[in-house]
Amino acid sequence: MIVVTGASRGLGQAICERLVSNGHEVTGLARTASDAGPVPILACDVSSADAVKQVARTIKADGKPVTGLINAAGIAAMNLALTTPPALASTIIATNLLGTIYCCQAFAPLLIRQKGGAIINFSTIAVHLGLKGESIYVASKAGVEGFSRAFAREMADFGINVNCIAPGPIDTDLLRGISDKQIDRILRQQIFNKQFAPEDVCDLVDVLLDKKSAALSGQVLHVGGV
């Protein structure tokens, strides 16, 4: 079984659909539970360590081996650092960075039981580009990248690889409210001056979950190129 956070929309939902089409059993996590989509979704606010621990216990009790964790839950906000309300800054850090850490802490032991597996965390191309107006978001995702590199070393002895995917602008709900001008400014800084689709991200997920990529760990893969 593969656990996917942020499974109710955007990249998380697209990843779930791809995994199911590839024959994987998937359990999704999102703030609201649902049985209407391609995979069952359990309610879990990843910014709450207690909530993550509880849902991990539920999945463990189900008895199905967990071989993968994909941390796709995240929020973004286009705000200058000086005008970002403290409450919003806390929410971004708690969801993007702490949420990733909490899920790794809760689910990595289930992968260790299987003596192998893959963890994929999500960052953003904005970290490398240092995008103006995304300071807090960039800080949260830079933390994810640093955590992933160090955590990869901790998991290596258990045969678990840990990597990051850092997309440029992808056509999902996360881009809602961002102007075409802002998106174009980002695209011009990528190696490929084009907007990629969720399917392109799913292709990288397929690669990182494949056993042929078992030697690849601690890496950040940029969709769009930097």
CA distance 68 to 104: 11
Indicate if 102 belongs to the active site. no
Q: Residue 2 pairs with which residues in a beta bridge?
A: 26, 68
CA distance 19 to 162: 18
Token digits of residue 64: 């199905």
- Catalytic option among 107, 122, 137, 151: 137
Token digits of residue 153: 């070393």
Angle CA 13–47–141, to nearest 5: 70
Answer whether 101's CB lies under 8 Å from 147's CB: yes
CA 152 to chain centre: 15
For helices 86-93 and 135-155, angle between their N-to-C axes, nearest 10 degrees: 20
**Residue 10 contacts by C-beta under 8 Å, 6 or more apart in sequence?**
72, 172, 173, 174, 198
SS3 122: strand
Neighbours of 35 (CB within 10 A): 7
Q: Could you list the active site residues?
A: 137
